[in-house]
Every structure is written in structure tokens, then in C-alpha cells.
Chain A
Amino acid sequence: EVQLVESGGGMVQPGGSLRLSCAASGFTFSSYSMNWVRQAPGKGLEWLSHIDSSSSMKHYTDSVKGRFTVSRDNGKNSLYLQMNSLRAEDTAVYYCARTVSPLYFQYMDVWGKGTTVTVSS
């Protein structure tokens, strides 16, 4: 079964850091580019970051550029999101999602169930 499972969420104080992980199974992880998408409580979807299959290209939305870093380990079938300088507005459910292309951002055909990040003092 094709599956993505996020972990690493939790509560953190403003200015703090968290590292999210996404474990992939049931498909050849190294053949797909991957994304992080988040959803604040009661809000819509916000794309955050894309990384291609070989980690050669990484892109971020402006609101997280310089604070968040996406990475992957194809040997461990895992995707990561290092989040620093967290703000209250980063409170959201964070999803990892697969893109069908190994290189380019396209539509996302497989999604994890998400992990919740709460930034609060």
C-alpha cells in the first residue's frame, strides 16, 4: 500500500524549532518529488515547499523562506522539514504529499494524514 506517515509535530514556544519527518512506503520514494503543505485551523491549504527526487532543487513559499528547510534521505525513504524561528501563525496541520514528477511541482496524488504543530507560549 502506498503510504506517507508524518511525525514530529507538537507544541513549541514562539522562536523555537521542530523537525518534521515523513516516512514513505509502498512506492519507489527516490523516483518522486515531494512537498510539504499545511493547513491552519479552519483555513485552506498552503503549499510550503517542494524538493525534487535527487534533492537538487528545493523551493519554498515566501512566508517560510529562510526559516524552514526541506530535505530527504532516499536511503531511508524519508522526507524532512526543519522548522526554525517558529511563529504563532505557523500553527497548523502539516502534510507531506507526493508529486508524480521526479523534477517538477505538479499535482499531488498521495498525501499523509498530517501532523499537528502548535506554536504557543
Chain B
Amino acid sequence: EIVMTQSPATLSVSPGERATLSCRASQSVSSSLAWYQQKPGQPPRLLIYGASTRATGIPARFSGSGSGTEFTLTISSLQSEDFAVYYCQQYYNWPSGPSGPFGGGTKVEI
């Protein structure tokens, strides 16, 4: 079973600052990792897949990096619309076991 752990649980950032979110896998998931953004009352939105490829329509200020067990989502200059919860998801080992493919999320707050 692969367990996905995100840190920190909450990240307090000012608009215009850089935000760095981490996602760690308990064993290698190669580059089979996606990032999602979720705002209150909305469904998740795909941001990044393949660890570093931006999904269609995602601004360039969002970037993903990493492979194996350590991954990072970076928001280069936070805009007001970026304050949300961010989830990572592995799709390397599936079905992924009782802990599921998603990390627990990081809330980015002002």
C-alpha cells in the first residue's frame, strides 16, 4: 500500500508571495502524481499531472516537480483566487489500498 502525506496541513501566505506545498509517497510512484485545487463548495480541479505537466488552462504560476517519493507544487506568486485546498494523488499503484490515492490536503490561507 502507498500512503500519500502532504505537508504542511495549513500554509499561511500573503498575496504575491511564493507558496511551496509538499507531497510525499511512502514508496516510489515514479512520476504518476497529480495535483488538484479545491475551493469551498466546488469540485476539485486538475492542476498538474505526470508530476510536472500543467493541465489545460492552468496558469504558468503553478508548477510541479519531483519524482519517486518527493513532490512539490509551487505557486510562484499567489493570487487571491489561489487560496484553496490542494490535494496530491498518486496513480502508480492501483487500487492503492485502504488509505487511498489522495493525500490529506494542504490548505493555503491568507
Contact = CB atoms under 8 A, between A and B. Distances in A.
Given A46-B100, A61-B95, A61-B100, A107 B49 contact: yes
B43 A111 contact: yes
Interface of A: 37, 44-47, 50, 59-63, 95, 97, 104-109, 111-114
Nearest to B94: A105
A83 B103 CA distance: 25
Given A95-B44, A107-B34, A111-B44, 8 more contacts: A44-B87, A46-B102, A47-B100, A62-B97, A105-B94, A106-B49, A108-B34, A108-B89
Range class of the B interface residue count: 20 to 34
A47 B102 contact: yes
Contacts of A63: 98
The 7 closest A-B pairs by CB, nearest first: A107-B34, A111-B43, A107-B49, A105-B94, A45-B102, A106-B91, A44-B105
Given A44-B102, A105-B91, A113 B43 contact: yes
Contacts of B42: 113
Contact of B91 (A46, A61, A107, A114): A107
